[in-house]
Amino acid sequence: MSRQAAARSTQVKHRRRRRWPFAIAFAALVVIAVGPGGVAQTAAGAIGLVLGRPAFDGPLPSCTIGDRLAPNATFDDWDRTLLDTEYAIARDYAPTDLVAVSETAIGGDGRVRALVVLDLDALGYAARKDGVDLAVESAYRSYDAQRRTFDSLVAAYGREFALESAARPGHSEHQLGTTLDFDGDDAWLSENAWRFGFVLSYPADRSPERTCYKAESWHYRYFGRDRAEAIHASGLSPREWLWQHGDEGD
């Protein structure tokens, strides 16, 4: 090959290499994920989030503060979406199938996705049978509601305290519509909630080092019974388990 031909070949290769990052970023911005009821959730709401490292690549990352688009950030991936201090979902992520908690066997405030209701009912009936009173204190929160929650903590206690105690908007599991703060018997919930599909997000023995937040004995995320059983059996927090298994389908 002549030097001129070799130079042309090298230029083509460089051009191809340069195209890849732009192609990947562009694809991430234009992908449309269809949510409940056929409503489309577009990546337009993800503006401000940056494309993260390849999903679940390497060891569990440290709890850095960032705004990267979460792996599996669509409505259909509700049991695989990984949220922490770095990974987030779009501002306009808002499930359309939310149901009032007051319509379930557990009283309280807020709304959850319809897919949570049957197991939430079962959890409530099981608790009553054991003489345990449970209520839901908080459930779905929109991006803006979580922003107000976080900002109020910053104003009252400072940013460092807020970062350890609450998720920034977009980073909260409450925005998924599958996460609840329970008011009731923490010991009963710790022993039984996983049987009905609910897993403690920030257990004391894994927090904050592995979960990125202070321990919260009341904060449970719904994963469905099979996945909840697997997480419970692993002894890991949901964040750790999702980093290892979040790219696995059902």
Cis peptide, bond prior to residue 169, ω within 30 of zero: no
Predicted confidence (pLDDT) at residue 123 exceeds the cutoff of 90 = yes
Q: Among positive and negative, which fits the CA dihedral 124, 130, 133, 139? A: negative
Tokens of residue 33, six digits: 């994920």
Contact yes or no for 123/193 (Cβ under 8 A): yes
Tokens of residue 146, six digits: 């979580």
> What gap in Å lies between CA 225 and CA 203, rounded to an integer?
19
Contact yes or no for 69/49 (Cβ under 8 A): yes
Predicted confidence (pLDDT) at residue 113 exceeds the cutoff of 90 = yes
Q: What is the mean pLDDT of residues 94-98?
A: 98
Predicted confidence (pLDDT) at residue 29 exceeds the cutoff of 50 = no
Tell me how far CA of residue 145 lies from CA of 6, 75, 130, 151, 189, in angstroms: 58, 19, 34, 10, 26
Q: Which pLDDT value is given to residue 56?
A: 76
Q: What is the mean pLDDT of residues 175-204?
A: 98
> What gap in Å lies between CA 58 and CA 244, rounded to an integer?
9
Tokens of residue 100, six digits: 């009032």
pLDDT digits (tens, 9 = 90+) for 33-74: 444 433 444 444 555 788 665 567 789 999 999 999 998 999
Q: Which pLDDT value is given to residue 46?
A: 57
* 3 state SS of 58: coil
Domain chopping of the chain, boundaries: 14-245
Contact yes or no for 44/92 (Cβ under 8 A): yes
**What is the CATH code for 14-245?**
3.30.1380.10
**Nearest by Cα to 92 from 55, 52, 47:** 47
> What gap in Å lies between CA 74 and CA 77, rounded to an integer?
5
Q: Which pLDDT value is given to residue 12?
A: 42
**Nearest by Cα to 97 from 81, 84, 111:** 111
